[in-house]
Amino acid sequence: MPRTDGEKVETVKNAGQRTSADKNPDPADSAMMQRSIQGLSTQSMANEALSKCPSSVPGGDADLGSTESMSQNANKGGGRQRRGDDPATRLERLREKRRHLRDLQDWEYQVAATPARRANSVLLGHYSFSFAFILLGLHYTGRFPLDTVLVASLLCIGGGPQLIAGLLSWTQGSTFAYVSCLAYGVFFLALACMWLLPSASSQPNLEVQAVSGPVTGTLYCIWAFVSFFLMLCTPAMSVGLLVKSIMTTLSLLSLAGGLMANNQVATHAGGYLAIIAGATSFYLFFAGILNEVWDAQLLPTGSMTKIFDAVAHRQRARNDNEHP
């Protein structure tokens, strides 16, 4: 049915009112629209995006799940965090951390306080000394002549290892072992060179005289004094080392007196004392090896400090009994 001019005018007015309403919306409608937009959750937006792009995660085997599982896991994690925030649980965790810290500090102190394990170079010195001194004593007892066995032993077994043991003792900070091993090492080398070097007896054009008893006795006398002063340090170490030093000093003194005075009895006595000194050094060598390997005192070497402590304790007890 055709509309009249009045109806057309009314329709145009209504359209203009709707256009103006769209341009100038009502405040109540605007607030409702804003609340609707804010009501859209991140979860729905993410689900919509995932539904449009259902591709797999790069490098993964499974497809991306919905954000509902993520939110549930987040809620579970939050629940665990809330339970962990309990004061009693936090206190227990703090105590456990402190226990771990104390254990770590104890371990660090034990590592720092434990000295580094090193080889005992003094044992090599005992071995070389005993071998060379026993052969030297057997020669001066008159039972064995001076031959190449004795000279080679003084060079290769007596002098060389003694020098090596002395240098190793120096790196370990042992002054006594360093001095004694080097001193006796050069002593054995000097004896071997004394018998090996050419002299006027073998080559007449040389001015160097052959080995004589008085000069050799003087050499032994000087080394007897060196051994005596080294012996003064041994009471603070062990009884075995003290016995070895005493026998060595007496042997050198006896050899010095016998060679300078041309006394065979004193020379033979010095040889036997040298054998005893070498045997004592051999015992110290075996005792050190066995005790270190088995970590027990299988062969005792004696401690002078224990003897001194026992004597001091007995003296104090005697004084207490005399003056109660």
Q: Is residue 281 part of a domain?
A: yes
Number of structural domains (the chain) is: 1
Structure tokens at 105: 């500090």
**Which residue reads 């993964």 in tokens?**
60
Q: Is residue 227 part of a domain?
A: yes
Q: Is residue 64 part of a domain?
A: no
Give DSSP secondary structure letters for 67-102: HHHHHHHHHHHHHHHHHHT-HHHHHHHHHHHHHHHH
Q: Is residue 257 part of a domain?
A: yes
Which residues span the domain enclosing 215? 122-202+210-317
Q: Is residue 217 part of a domain?
A: yes
Task: Using DSSP, state whether 56 is helix, strand or coil.
Answer: strand
- The CA distance from 42 to 162, in Å, is 86
pLDDT at 57: 43
CB 198 within 8 A of CB 206: yes
Q: Is residue 68 part of a domain?
A: no
Mean pLDDT per 10-residue run, the chain (324 residues)? 49 48 50 51 52 47 45 47 67 86 85 77 92 93 87 90 92 89 94 82 70 88 93 89 94 94 93 95 93 87 76 78 71
Structure tokens at 259: 């060679």
Q: Indicate the Cα dihedral angle 285, 147, 268, 187, nearest 10°.
A: -50
Whole-model pTM: value is 0.62
Q: Is residue 90 part of a domain?
A: no
Q: Is residue 70 part of a domain?
A: no
Closest to 276 in 3D by CA, of 246, 306, 318, 256: 246
pLDDT at 282: 94
